[in-house]
Amino acid sequence: MKKLLNRVAVLAIAGTVSMGAQATTPEEDRNAFNKLYKWRFSGVPMEEFVNGAYAIDPIGRENWEAIEEFPPYEPFIDEGEVMWETPFANGKGYKDCFPDGPAIAGNYPHWDKEQGMVMTLPLALNQCREANGEKPLKYKKGSITNIVAYTAFQSRGQVTNVVIPDDDPRALAAYENGRKFYFTRRGQLNFSCSTCHLQNTGMKVRTEILSPTLGQTTHWPTYRSKWGTVGTLHRRFTGCNKNIRAKPFKAQGEQYRNLEYFLTYMSNGLELNGPGARK
Amino acid sequence: MQVNRLYSVLLVTALLGGGVGTTLAADAKAADPKVVEVQKMIDGAEKARKKAASVDSEWRDTGKFIKQAQAALKAGDYDKAMKLARKAEDEGNLGYQQGVSQQELHLPSYLKY
């Protein structure tokens, strides 16, 4: 009964999720996603999904493996290490905000009860900067990718384990809003995230194979050949929305943070392997 | 001394004359019924864009078309401005309809629970 009441409270808070929505738990959602991908790509082991389209595209994989021999994201990791080790103007540094060290990517995204919002790694890094009198970094490209690349590299091998706490219905509401975003059609092409990355995974859009949702959050930041540099997950969200001719939302705004919360939960159990390299 | 005063008077007259001329030209342009009509269309497009944005469903190019329409109006290319404004208003209205149609979450049938 308590669970049911919680659910009703969450749906009311979520607002945009109608009361007619199918009431499923996050774990049920994740199992349904897993079941679908297992059925569609029966020969692909679950742990392979961290490699995105290269888990299901043998030719693309050959190219990618060749690229990974001399990873294009390495200089960004090195720059990030310098940032991590360099104190701010007030003498403190990232180390003071994150005393457990740079291997912290596995802790994000998480529900921040105090702030009542989904906390992501780039946002936490910027909050650290601002608390120490430094200007926040831009969220899509530039220096932010260096420090995130360094923390991601140090966090390799950690297992995605997003938790939706029971003691704050706003956390589940944020998850629900992220899920709603994922299934909402938008833009002139009238596509949702699920249109490409769930319904048509493995199919081609022009020459590109559409990657599965599972594993999409494990390898950020990513060096994309198209960008010629490393970019953040929210930069990729922006690109996706532009591709379907929808006006993108603000990087690290509520919509994208909730989407990240949902997507990362779907990848629970998969290893972090960032930074990544993609076409 | 008197020559200087004469120059000053001439300069002030010229500036005032130029200013009045410019103001009159701008007023004439603003009063042009075609300009008023096109501006009304652009305002309508902007209203439609905002309506789509209110349901998180603004399309990528709507704002760009409105800016281009405003620039075309300024350049006196009324036909181009009207065409762009019409396109932007259509996009705004369609975006809003799309946003409203997506208010309810419907999980796809191929996702088996």
Instruction: Say yes or no: A83 and A175 in one domain.
Output: no
Domain ranges, residue A85: 74-154
Which chain B residues in 2-61 lie under 8 Å from chain A, judged by CB atoms?
53, 56-61
**CATH number for the domain that contains residue A67:** 1.10.760.10
Distance from the B59 Cα atom to the nearest Cα atom in chain A, whole angstroms: 4
In a domain, A133, yes or no: yes
Show which of A154, A189, A211 is a domain's final residue: A154
In a domain, A232, yes or no: yes
In a domain, A164, yes or no: yes
Quick one: how many helices (H) and strands (E) in chain B? 4, 0
Share the mean pLDDT of chain B. Answer: 85
Out of A17, A32, A249, the one facing B112 most closely (by C-beta) is: A32
Query: Encoding tokens for residue A40?
Result: 């569609």
pLDDT range class, residue A20, cuts 50, 70, 90: very low
Instruction: Say yes or no: A67 and A95 in one domain.
Output: no
Per domain, the residue ranges of chain B are 30-99
Please say if the pLDDT value at position B49 is more than 70.
yes
Mean pLDDT of A127-143: 97
B chain contacts of residue A191, beta-carbon cutoff 8 Å: none
Instruction: Say yes or no: A42 and A137 in one domain.
Output: no
Contact of A73 with A149, CB cutoff 8 Å: yes
pLDDT tens digits, A80-134: 999 999 999 999 999 999 999 999 999 999 999 999 999 999 999 999 999 999 9
Q: Hey, are the CB atoms on B103 and A16 less than 8 Å from each other?
A: yes
Tell me the three-class secondary structure of chain A, residue by residue: CHHHHHHHHHHHHHCCCCCCCCCCCHHHHHHHHHHHHHHHCCCCCHHHHHHHHHHCCHHHHHHHHHHHHCCCCHHHHHHHHHHHHCCCCCCCCHHHHCCCCCCCHHHCCEEECCCCEEECHHHHHHHHHHHCCCCCCCCCCCHHHHHHHHHHHHCCCCECCCCCCCCCHHHHHHHHHHHHHHHCCECCCCECHHHHHHHCCCCEECCEECCCCCCCCCCCCEEECCCCEEECHHHHHHHHHHHCCECCCCCCCHHHHHHHHHHHHHCCCCECCCCEEEC
Backbone angles phi, psi at A272, to 5 degrees: -75, 135
Chosen for mutation from A10, A188, A191 (greatest number of chain B CBs closer than 10 Å) is A188
**According to the model, what pLDDT value does residue B31 have?**
75
The C-alpha angle B54, B57, B61, rounded to 5 degrees, equals: 110
Please say if the pLDDT value at position A10 is more than 50.
no
Please say if the pLDDT value at position A243 is more than 80.
yes
Instruction: Say yes or no: A214 and A123 in one domain.
Output: no
Instruction: Say yes or no: A125 and A191 in one domain.
Output: no
Show which of A138, A154, A170 is a domain's final residue: A154
Mean pLDDT of A208-229: 97
pLDDT range class, residue B25, cuts 50, 70, 90: low
Instruction: Say yes or no: A201 and A271 in one domain.
Output: yes
Among residues of chain A, what percentage have pLDDT more than 70?
92
Instruction: Say yes or no: A89 and A169 in one domain.
Output: no
Please say if the pLDDT value at position A252 is more than 90.
yes
Tell me, what DSSP letter sits at residue B21?
H
Instruction: Say yes or no: A164 and A267 in one domain.
Output: yes
Q: Hey, are the CB atoms on A185 and B102 less than 8 Å from each other?
A: yes
**According to the model, what pLDDT value does residue B28 have?**
58
Has A196 been annotated as catalytic? Answer: no
Instruction: Say yes or no: A173 and A213 in one domain.
Output: yes
Query: A187-195, long-range: CB within 8 Å, 24+ apart, which pairs?
Result: A187/A241, A187/A244, A187/A245, A187/A246, A187/A247, A187/B59, A187/B60, A188/A244, A188/A245, A188/A246, A188/B59, A188/B60, A188/B61, A188/B91, A188/B94, A189/A243, A189/A244, A189/A245, A190/A244, A190/B98, A191/A244, A193/A240, A193/A259, A194/B108
Instruction: Say yes or no: A52 and A171 in one domain.
Output: yes
Contact of A165 with A113, CB cutoff 8 Å: yes
Out of A20, A35, A247, the one facing B59 most closely (by C-beta) is: A247
**According to the model, what pLDDT value does residue B2 have?**
53
**According to the model, what pLDDT value does residue A47 have?**
96
CA-based nearest residue to A10, from A23, B87, A275, A146: A23
Show which of A128, A154, A180 is a domain's final residue: A154
Q: Hey, are the CB atoms on A247 and B53 less than 8 Å from each other?
A: yes
Mean pLDDT of B23-39: 76
In a domain, A22, yes or no: no
Instruction: Say yes or no: A38 and A172 in one domain.
Output: yes
pLDDT range class, residue A268, cuts 50, 70, 90: very high
Instruction: Say yes or no: A201 and A240 in one domain.
Output: yes
**According to the model, what pLDDT value does residue A8 have?**
42
**According to the model, what pLDDT value does residue A225 have?**
95
Bond prior to A221 in cis (omega within 30° of 0):
yes
Please say if the pLDDT value at position A18 is more than 70.
no
| Cα distance between residue A241 and residue A187, in whole Å | 7
The tally of domains found in chain A comes to: 2
In a domain, A139, yes or no: yes
Out of A35, A183, A194, the one facing B112 most closely (by C-beta) is: A35
Give the number of A-B residue pairs with CB atoms closer than 8 Å. Answer: 73
In a domain, A19, yes or no: no
Mean pLDDT of A47-71: 96
Out of A18, A24, A245, the one facing B104 most closely (by C-beta) is: A18
Sheet architecture: strand order including A222-224: A229-231, A222-224, A276-278
Q: Hey, are the CB atoms on B108 and A194 less than 8 Å from each other?
A: yes
